[in-house]
Structure 1
Amino acid sequence: MLELLRKNNLVAGLLAVIRIYLGYQFLHAGIEKLTGGGFDASGFLQGAIASATGEHPAVQGWWATFLEHVALPNATLFSFLVMWGEVLVGIALILGLLTNFATLMGMVMNFAFLFSGTVSTNGQMILLAIFVIVAGANAGKYGLDRWAMPYLRNHTPIKKNHKKETATV
């Protein structure tokens, strides 16, 4: 199964469709936030913190503590990161550029939304993203990764020394 996900051309096409779907979801959500008259995550954060109480809390205490003491005091920064993170992840996935990194960052956002008590399509998006991550380079085969990844591999500032050392007697 792993070999099929990582090397099959038909699977690469299916992964491109999944990747573009995920990218569209992120891009659409990010653009709505950017053009919606000023996105502010503080209301969402306060709602998530409030959901950490009661008999069956939707948000775990450790996450609510993080939201209350880190995210909420920095709501402007987190609003910026969510808006632009969704837009950039969306563009990267649609173009198939840095696919694995973009997918990983999308998963981080989806997990953050799930931890905050939002169900929506986040679980479905994480499940689809797992296939993209496991497929590795095959997920970006029909995208800009086809050219970008070989270029990046050959033009990294750190070169490995491939010289063989000879033993002296």
Structure 2
Amino acid sequence: MINKLLRENNVVAAILTVIRVYIGYAWLTAGWGKLTGGGFDSAGFIQGAIGKASGEHPAVQGWWASFLEGVALPNAEIFTFLVMWGEVLVGIALILGIFTNFAAIMGLAMNFAFLFSGTVSTNAQMVLLTVFIAAAGFNAAKFGLDRWVIPYIRQTIAKKETKTAPVV
């Protein structure tokens, strides 16, 4: 019942549009600040997260700290690039309502990475709100560019499948 309401109701679509734009703005401003500030380097954040994995009550689980130490820290330049541009692109996509489900899932992945790394801030709130966007599917972008883009993509794929289908 809730799933049907999330996926089909126009009032819910309007509410999800407000939530989607709010979350998109949060992502966009966070990423833009990192891009234009000139001083963002994920290595410091990663080292801080690794440091939170020790002590009597660690904020970061050992398995995540091992990943950060073995994969993320040696490739901090790549992660810096991915975080900055990921935040900007997820923000733009959510604001415009284009490729909304993909953007929401990528936003969830980044938020969970930040939560696993021991930060709280607005990440938990963003996860909760983004879950509703992801669960709503196409309805979350009914008032966005997906309204035109997704049908166009589906139509284009259907035409290609028709042309390449074997004749029996």
TM-score band, normalised by shorter chain? over 0.9
Q: Provide TM-score, normalisation by structure 2.
A: 0.93
Q: How does 1:66-105 map to 2 (within 5 A)?
A: 66-105=67-106
Gaps of 5+ in 2: none
Are 1:159 and 2:141 counterparts? no
Compute the RMSD of aligned alpha carbons: 1.7
Corresponding residue for residue 37 of structure 1: 38
| Worse-matched range after superposition: 150-159 or 136-145 | 150-159
Q: How does 1:1-169 map to 2 (within 5 A)?
A: 1-156=2-157, 159=161
Sequence identity (%): 66
What is the CA distance between 1:102 and its match in structure 2?
0.1
Distance 1:65 1:99, change over 3 A: same
Q: Deviations over 1:127-147 (max 9, x none)?
A: 000100111100010000000
SS where residue 143 of structure 1 aligns? coil
Provide runs of 4+ in structure 1 moved above 6 Å: 160-163
What is the CA distance between 1:156 and its match in structure 2?
2.3
Q: Provide TM-score, normalisation by structure 1.
A: 0.93
Q: Which has the higher helix share?
A: 2
Gaps of 5+ in 1: none
CA radius of gyration, larger in = 1
Q: Deviations over 1:66-114 (max 9, x none)?
A: 0001000000000000000000000000000000000000000000000
